[in-house]
């Protein structure tokens, strides 16, 4: 399998190509960026290979996600294409699998609007840094709010109900009986952890590695290939970052 990202030797050239494509939209420049990052796309596609889809199809979907990421990426914001592309490709793959799993055939209008709304939610979440509201989704798609609500509610018809769900009037076999009890320490954790300002205090590379590990879900091997360091260095940087965050969290206010 190809490398998951640019090698250390050509990373500067690829960044230059990314900036150039952002300015002139030259197809040949985009092709070079795609070639450098297609290994990342294939690596992410391989995660979903055991879900009944052909790997070749998943690779094509991942490449579509990569193309969308390159077209939407703004290098002037200071972020890395790797992080943005990973989120975009994963979103494209999950949408692909999600859209093929409907258990009830919906009217075409509702089905298409549901897919458009889901894509809009992903885009607005990246733009706004939070989950969008229903009116924001309706405004972006220029459709009535009631139609958005109806289309998103239809998402519950994508899958058959679980056989483990409680039957009407059942008292002995409930879903909640299989769930763990609430952890009373969660409220304390939520009160102490304010991750955004703490993460901002870390060096950029450590923030990048944390995003790849805990947001994108990349393995240490994948992160090492993307960032251009050894797996041992990734492990050390992760441990160092988490230790520093724990220290800051426990500092007196």
- pLDDT exceeds cutoff 50 at 91: yes
Question: Which residues make Cβ contacts (< 8 Å) with residue 124, sequence separation at least 6?
Answer: 132, 136, 137, 140
CB–CB of 157/106 below 8 Å? yes
Give the whole-number percent of the chain exceeding pLDDT 90. 26
Q: All domains of the chain, ordered by start, with CATH?
A: 1-98 (1.20.120.1810), 102-158 (1.10.10.10), 191-253 (1.10.10.10)
Average pLDDT taken over every residue of the chain: 79
pLDDT in tens, 179-200: 556 666 655 555 445 667 788 8
pTM value is 0.46
Terminal C-alpha separation, the chain: 49
Is 78 a residue whose pLDDT tops 60? yes
């Amino acid at each position: 399998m190809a490398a998951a990202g640019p090698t250390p030797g050509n990373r500067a050239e690829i960044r230059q190509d990314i900036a150039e494509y952002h300015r002139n939209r030259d197809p040949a420049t985009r092709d070079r960026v795609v070639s450098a990052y297609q290994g990342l796309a294939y690596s992410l596609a391989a995660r979903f290979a055991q879900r009944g889809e052909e790997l070749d199809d998943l690779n094509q979907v991942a490449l579509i996600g990569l193309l969308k990421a390159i077209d939407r990426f703004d290098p002037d914001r200071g972020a890395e294409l790797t992080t943005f592309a990973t989120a975009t490709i994963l979103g494209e793959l999950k949408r692909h699998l999600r859209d093929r799993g409907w258990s009830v055939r919906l009217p075409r209008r509702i089905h298409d609007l549901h897919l458009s709304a889901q894509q809009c939610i992903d885009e607005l979440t990246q733009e706004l840094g939070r989950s969008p509201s229903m009116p924001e989704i309706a405004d972006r798609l220029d459709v009535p709010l009631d139609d958005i609500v109806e289309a998103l509610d239809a998402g519950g018809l994508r899958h058959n109900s679980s056989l483990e769900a409680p039957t009407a009037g059942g008292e002995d076999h409930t879903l909640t009986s299989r769930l763990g009890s609430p952890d009373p320490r969660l409220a304390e954790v939520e009160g102490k952890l304010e991750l955004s300002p703490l993460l901002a205090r870390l060096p950029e590379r450590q923030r990048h590695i944390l995003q790849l590990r805990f947001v994108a879900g990349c393995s240490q091997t994948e992160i090492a290939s993307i960032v251009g360091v050894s797996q041992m260095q990734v492990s050390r940087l992760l441990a160092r970052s988490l230790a520093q965050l724990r220290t800051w969290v426990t500092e007196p206010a």
